[in-house]
Structure 1
Amino acid sequence: MKTWITALLTISSLLCFGQKKANVDKEEWKQLFNGKNLDGWDIKIRGYELNDNFGQTFRVEDGKMVVRYDQYDDFKQKYGHIFYKGDFSYYKIAVEYRFVGEQAPKGEGWAWRNSGIMVHGQPAETMGKDQDFPASIEVQLLGGNDKKRTTCNLCTPGTNVVMNGKLITQHCINSTSQTYNGDQWVRAEVLVLGDSLIQHFANGEKVLEYNKPQLGGGNVSGHDPALMIAGKLLDHGSISLQSESHPVEFRKVELLNLKGCMDPKAKNYKSYYVKEDNSTCDYGKRKK
């Protein structure tokens, strides 16, 4: 019986993989940034109330969502995040980004050409006024400095993860990506499957993978300690983009929602990942 079940699962996996490959061009990505304004987004900058966009840090220019510091005399660790409104659990998030210009006055050295995609984060409205980073999983975006400097790394403000069966408490882990120097555009994608698996991709290449994102560790200040339940697995949360003192541009921010396709709690999960509205899964699985 065990052999028969194993064979059946193998055949099913091959069928699903073939269907995924065939349907790859039919993935329906939702554009989170409309290219015109910041409707649908919330802004939280350290030291300011929710949606006080100090210095117009986050703005739209030439159809791009940009982070600018031309109204800053001193960065003063005014870390900022722009949150897409909503809560997400099973999805792919993708951005096309590039770093430009000069760093804000008195920005930290480590923050040069540094930004990030925060996933499984706390809601924007739960952040303290003086909180620096949301408790979240950070997909760190770095620009090159003519030396080896990878992008799509992992950083863990208020969180930990598991890699190869071991709890990782180190704050940042480098990916295996290439170094992207200059002002070139880079596409970063993150596959997020609840509290089970997260994968990072840089220009289509998988560069990092880990499991069991969870609360714990440090590297967050100004937060409500009651929200930090060490060891609590993170299977959903907010999505935000960072302002860490270097100008950055996003020409595309898009999401492929896999809720109901890859979520084992979804109603039709065992029916080859059919969506709850009975349409086929964008991730390439077939109807029963």
Structure 2
Amino acid sequence: MFTVTFISKKGGLEPALVTSVQSAWGGGDAVWLALDEAAEFEVARIPDNRWEVWSDLQDLGVDLVVQPSEGRRKKMLLADMDSTMIQQECIDELADEAGVGERVAAITAAAMNGELDFDGALRERVELLKGLPESVIGDVLDKRITLMPGGPVLLATMKAHGAYAALVSGGFTAFTAAIAETLGFDENRANTLIADGGELTGEVGLPILGKQAKVDALEEITARLGISETDVLAVGDGANDLGMLTRAGTGVALHAKPLVAAECDVRIYHGDLTALLFIQGYAWDVFSNC
């Protein structure tokens, strides 16, 4: 069996829409996970016109996910940080403080779209931060970084049901450590900005954590926990996330670049991070930290 899940911004999901698709696809009884926000029903097979319906629903501000019913509730969350668990790209915010914001943001966008080699693009951007006071990192965290909506609820709910959570970023440990502590991740991995005498040197610690390192984290952590990669829900938005997204049991492209979304069966554009709970079958009344 397969579960069809509809997710919209709060108040944006019409019962008539759910009923219409349910009837067309021969679905079972609809279950509302959150009033006017999320609903699901089961079907015996994946409908042939799934992506046509998905495309039509985009115009209505509704995300549609079709996935196997068995095993959809996961034992581990593996998450990217920048533009996933937070709303910014940390290196772009640092670059703005250094007066090279537009230049670095353009490189970031190209790297996340898969147009540039991630390692080379990271080195190039970090080099432009040379001489920036190390104290600026704390200022950026305090004044510029905001959590992605739904993140605290996602972490609290999955952990309350026994899941493990790992934050794995191509960004920097100075940020992942703080975000991991705030949200309750069990561990975090990222790159290291090198500083000397209170200033950034324009260098990044080796080895650089990029696309393969995220796959390595998936393999290493699941092996350590004694779980399967199919037990993992991974979420990200950029090209360097594709390896872990396609290997995990459920890979979620969250507000993702077109290249990334095209490779993932689970695409969330309209819901916030609580959408990752709805697709696992969690109803609003069991959410934690609401």
User: Which category of TM-score, normalised to the shorter sequence, fits these structures?
Assistant: under 0.3
Give the number of the structure whose residues are more often helix, by fraction: 2
Give the number of the structure whose residues are more often strand, by fraction: 1
Greater RCO (Cα-Cα under 8 Å, separation 6 or more): 1
Q: Normalising by structure 1, report the TM-score.
A: 0.28
Q: Normalising by structure 2, report the TM-score.
A: 0.28
